Structure 1
Amino acid sequence: MWIAQISDPHLRPEGLFYNGVLDPAAALTMAVAQINRLVPRPDLVLLTGDVAETGSAEEYALARRLLGRLAMPCLAIPGNHDLREPFRDAFAETPRQGPLHYAAGQHGAVRVVALDVTVPGKHHGEADAGALAWLRATLAEEPARPTIVMLHQPPIDSGIPYLDAYNCRGAGPLEAVIRDFPAVERVLCGHVHRGMTQRFGGTLLCTAPSLATAIALRPYPEAEPASWLEPPGFLLHHWNGQAMLTHAVPLGVFPGPYGFA
């Protein structure tokens, strides 16, 4: 099973730029086209949050139109820039009330468990007691099935001070739940606009780069917040029946292919 992971498109109403420097609709359009061209074609796309920049109905309508061009299903979770109610209206798989937790096992061998750790009105995330209880009960329904847990804010430190102020709080109890279920093959996050990997709860946690700008890699205490217009990208996860392999894929059209390797 092949699973593409995109993150943080920060869509604006059509024609408006993200922070004045990038057309997020063009970036998402390119990502959709590139994923559709992949061979083998992915079975599923995951979108790990910050679909919209302000949470407006226009932004979600644009998201549904662009994501509707995918040749495969797309599962999304909210980020700190999303608003729960319009997000709920835009994505049919999300529950009709409460936090936007859900599980989806109908798309292939790997089950996807979406954990909504957003805190309305705040930029940090929190794995609170209710979210942890839901996650434990949901993982226990199919404890031996290969599973991805996706959430927006990562429950780890990057070493970049202006990122770590807004990570997912409650990391210790969350890690304990994940550790109790060895079939969790990946914990997938967005939010940091950078690709990172770290062991977490006995498995591997990965963050996907943003389809918008990249947050500057400044891992020192006095760092000032900054971003770069770096090449965007996405992650491609492959479950071969025994293990999961993750590839980092740059977004774009490049010279080649050449007849050597």
Structure 2
Amino acid sequence: MLFCQITDTHIKAGRKHAYGMVDTATMLEHCVDSVMQLKQRPDVVLLTGDLVDYGRDDEYALLATLLKPLTMPMYLIPGNHDERDALRRAFPDHEYLYQWSPFIQYAIDDYPVRIIALDTLIPGQGGGRLCDERLQWLDSTLAEKPDTPTLVVMHHPPFRTGLGHMDILGLEGADALEAVISRHSQVERLACGHLHRSIQVRFGGSLASTCPSSAHQIALDLSADGPDNFVLEPPGYQLHWWDGQRLVTHTAVIGSFPGPYPFRTDGKLID
């Protein structure tokens, strides 16, 4: 089974450029086109938050249009730039968005790997939170199927990264989340967004990771007082491949590049 994770698309109304220079709509079109051209087409697409920039209905309308070429099931969660009700209005046929209110948290049991989505949104704030109510839901939901491998998806990563300005916008309740995860060995991965980079760390006996943005990336500066900057490094997405025993992650770069070239001809290495 193959999961595709796309994150931090930051769509703006009217295809307006983010920060005056990042064409997020066109970059998402390129991302969608890249996914649809994969030799092994994903079974599921996961969109892990900051789907739009201001949580507006017109932004979500454009997002829905840009995602239409994806033919596989999609599962969305909100990030700190999103608004729950507007997201639900834009995707009325996505019944899972209504599985638990007011939060957008849900469990999907249709695949060999269970999907559990967490809502870390604090309206109007950049940082995230997992309160006792959300964590208790997670604990009880995980306990329902202890023998089913599970992928947990969320926007805010539950760990410090060394990117000082982003760590300020971290996740309240991360320690409590780690305690919950440590009680449920079936959790294969916590797949997160928010950081616009590919980062991995051990967490609660499992692995927590973040995915590159389909648009701009956070500048790689690990100084505690590093500036709040972004860079136009190649955008990307991730493919999480379940081989029946393990979840293996590949980071795909979006763009057109020379190749592929053969290493050998007539069975011999090319000199």
TM over 0.5: yes
The aligned residue for residue 263 of structure 2 is 260
Number of matched pairs:
260
Conserved? CA contact 1:67–1:74, under 8 Å: no
1:79-158 residue pairs with structure 2 within 5 A? 79-91=79-91, 92=94, 93-95=96-98, 97-106=101-110, 108-158=111-161
Equivalent in 249, 253, 259 of residue 252 of structure 2? 249
What whole-Å deviation, never above 9, does each CA across 1:229-251 have from its counterpart, x for those lacking one?
11111111100111110011101
What whole-Å deviation, never above 9, does each CA across 1:61-117 have from its counterpart, x for those lacking one?
1111121210211111000000111012223220173011111121x2111100001
Name the SS of the counterpart of 1:248 in structure 2: strand
TM-score by length of structure 2 reads: 0.93
The aligned residue for residue 268 of structure 2 is none
Name the SS of the counterpart of 1:94 in structure 2: helix
Name the SS of the counterpart of 2:222 in structure 1: coil
The aligned residue for residue 27 of structure 1 is 27
The aligned residue for residue 67 of structure 2 is 67
Write the distance in 2 (CA, Å) between the matches of 1:203 and 1:39. 29
Write the distance in 2 (CA, Å) between the matches of 1:63 and 1:57. 10
| Residue identity matched to 1:126 | R
Tell which deviates more after alignment, 213-222 or 109-118.
213-222
Write the distance in 1 (CA, Å) between the matches of 2:102 and 2:15. 33
Write the distance in 2 (CA, Å) between the matches of 1:6 and 1:109. 20
Conserved? CA contact 2:165–2:225, under 8 Å: no
| Residue identity matched to 1:112 | I
1:207-226 residue pairs with structure 2 within 5 A? 207-226=210-229
Give the superposed CA RMSD: 1.2
Write the distance in 2 (CA, Å) between the matches of 1:81 and 1:187. 20
Runs of 4+ in 1 over 6 A off after TM superposition: none
Gaps spanning 5+ residues in structure 2: where? 265-271
Conserved? CA contact 2:181–2:187, under 8 Å: yes
Gaps spanning 5+ residues in structure 1: where? none
Displacement, 1:175? 0.5
Structure label with greater radius of gyration: 2
Equivalent in 163, 168, 173 of residue 165 of structure 1? 168
The aligned residue for residue 195 of structure 2 is 192
Name the SS of the counterpart of 1:246 in structure 2: strand
Conserved? CA contact 2:15–2:24, under 8 Å: no
The aligned residue for residue 57 of structure 1 is 57
1:36-55 residue pairs with structure 2 within 5 A? 36-55=36-55
Write the distance in 1 (CA, Å) between the matches of 2:163 and 2:215. 19
Conserved? CA contact 1:2–1:238, under 8 Å: yes
Identity of aligned residues (%): 43
| Residue identity matched to 2:193 | G
Write the distance in 1 (CA, Å) between the matches of 2:190 and 2:258. 33
Displacement, 1:42? 0.6
The aligned residue for residue 8 of structure 1 is 8
Write the distance in 2 (CA, Å) between the matches of 1:164 and 1:208. 16
